[in-house]
Structure 1
Amino acid sequence: MRFLLCSAQALERLTNQTGRLLSWFTWAMVLLQSGVVVLRHGFNSGSIALQESVVYLHGAAFMLGLAYALQTDAHVRVDVFYRRMSLRGKAWVNTTGYLVFLLPICAFLLISSWPFAVSSWSVYEGSANAGGLPGVFLLKSLIPLSSLTLALAGLAQFLRALMQLMASERLELTPLSSAKAVLKQAEGVEA
């Protein structure tokens, strides 16, 4: 159980750090887009590279932000039944959902997007626009990278739900007097 907790915490730290980095991407995107508007309307000029950098930052913030959204529970959840479930029921739904749906979809995305990114890297694909950024291959690499980071965040959430199920089973198997001790222990581990 300790190993599961340490693994989940390490994966969550990685996701949190990625989320913090992506918040700076959003600020940079706002500043660059403001620069594009000022150049176009104030000085009657523009920069394709500047416009494409906004697109690159937006793609990075969106694709890599999926894992952070999952971890912070900011994703869309249809919880007509979920919100009325017990903690154990929610843990079963989460464990099943991560194992049956999220992780296989992430594996499919990773496997199917890998050749797409590799072929882009093989020619160091650049922008089709004159004056554009030369790193389209980096943008295309976000697809397999985002599926990998989402899978890692999903694995951390799966481990959390699994630990919750294991703790609730212990509570059911122990007498009432020791159930409080197990609960305190589980709360101490979670904190």
Structure 2
Amino acid sequence: MTQHEDEVVVATEGAPIVAISDPGEVGRAEHNRGDRAVVQVANVFSWLYPILIIAICSQVVLRGMGNNQAWLDDAQWWIYGAAVLIGIGYAVTTNSHVRVDIFYDGYAPAKQRKIDIFALAWLFLPFIILCWDTTLPYALTSIVADEGSDSPNGLHNLWILKTFMNVSFLYIAFATWSAYVRYLSQITPPVWWRKLLYAFPAVAFVVNLVIYYAALGLVLLTSEAGTTARQATRHWFFDTFAIGPEEMKYTVASALIATVLIIAATYALRDKSGEV
């Protein structure tokens, strides 16, 4: 495994040469506003780690004294979960994650950027969107149930952590999109139609979710009182239709068509003043 890291050397007159190894500062000149916002949020949440260390050490001492505190056990998981989730977005922005790729470092910068674009927009971003969609009912159910700790003396209002987990995937998605746009700008002007086209799977997934939840809400609004979401999904729009030997959901087909139309519209409305 290799980890791709850059280093910036800064020298001022009369001062020693300083190597900047902070991932949040390396390549700062290339960062866009989205990248900087991600780094700033992560810098704030990084203070959770010393708090986590204090919580762990305190619990070890208290447990050794026979005074175990269940809420401290819960707090450790809360803090660790929040810090790690925010750290994922930071790692994507700063490219400080571990890259399991023995070939990447030997490629030319342009080829590296193409790999980054494909990995972020076609693989990672759709997965993060899926994580958000999967954890949404998980968080909503916890809120409705006012879920608490399994231990009577633990941290209650567990729905706060589960809701934060769901929201954090939006943060990670934002970090991924910002990094994707930055890499795209290094090989071609990142106009909107290109940003949408080169991230087609992720864009289509988002459009699919918008159509799905909009249709679900419309069916619920027009159905009899007491209709559940599960019952609403029995509407024909959520069914499948045959395409030869294969099947496809109407929502997915609608999303693909809508995505193509959106990209076509952004292309037609593009600024042509800079074109040759």
Q: TM-score, normalised by structure 1?
A: 0.78
1:10 pairs, out of 18, 28, 33, with 33
Q: Is the CA contact (8 Å cut-off) linking 1:70 and 1:153 kept in structure 2? A: yes
Q: Which residue does 1:175 correspond to in 2?
A: none
- Aligned residues: CA RMSD: 1.5
Of 42, 57, 65, which aligns to 1:34?
57
Q: Who is 2:81 aligned against?
A: 59
- State which of 134, 143, 154 in structure 2 corresponds to 1:112: 134
**Which residue of 2 is the match for residue 183 of structure 1?**
none
5+ residue gaps in structure 1? 1-7, 168-191
**1:103 CA drift (Å):** 1.3
SS at match of 1:166: coil
CA contact (8 A) 1:67 1:149 kept: yes
Deviates more, 1:77-86 or 1:50-59: 77-86
Equivalent residue pairs, number: 159
Q: Which amino acid aligns with 1:88?
A: A
Give distance in 2, aligned partners of 1:143 and 1:56. Answer: 10
Identity %: 26
Answering whether residue 124 of structure 2 is matched by residue 91 of structure 1, we say: no
* Aligned residue in 1 for 2:3: none
Which residue type is aligned with residue 178 of structure 2?
A
1:26 Cα offset (Å): 0.5
Q: Deviations over 1:130-157 (max 9, x none)?
A: 1111121112123322321111111111
Partner of 1:100: 122
Give the Cα–Cα distance (whole angstroms) in 2 for the partners of residues 38 and 81 of structure 1. 47
| Contact 1:67/1:150, CA 8 A, preserved across alignment | yes
Q: 2:31 matched to 1:20?
A: no
Larger radius of gyration: 2
Farther-moved stretch of structure 1 (142-151 vs 56-65): 142-151
Moved over 3 A (4+): none
Q: 1:125 aligns with which of 107, 124, 147?
A: 147
Contact 1:63-1:142 at 8 Å conserved across structures: no
TM-score by length of 2: 0.55
Which fold has the larger relative contact order, with Cα–Cα distance below 8 Å and residues 6 or more apart in sequence? 1
State how far apart, in whole Å, the 2-side matches of 1:30 and 1:91 are: 37
Q: Which runs of 5+ in 2 are unaligned?
A: 1-30, 190-276
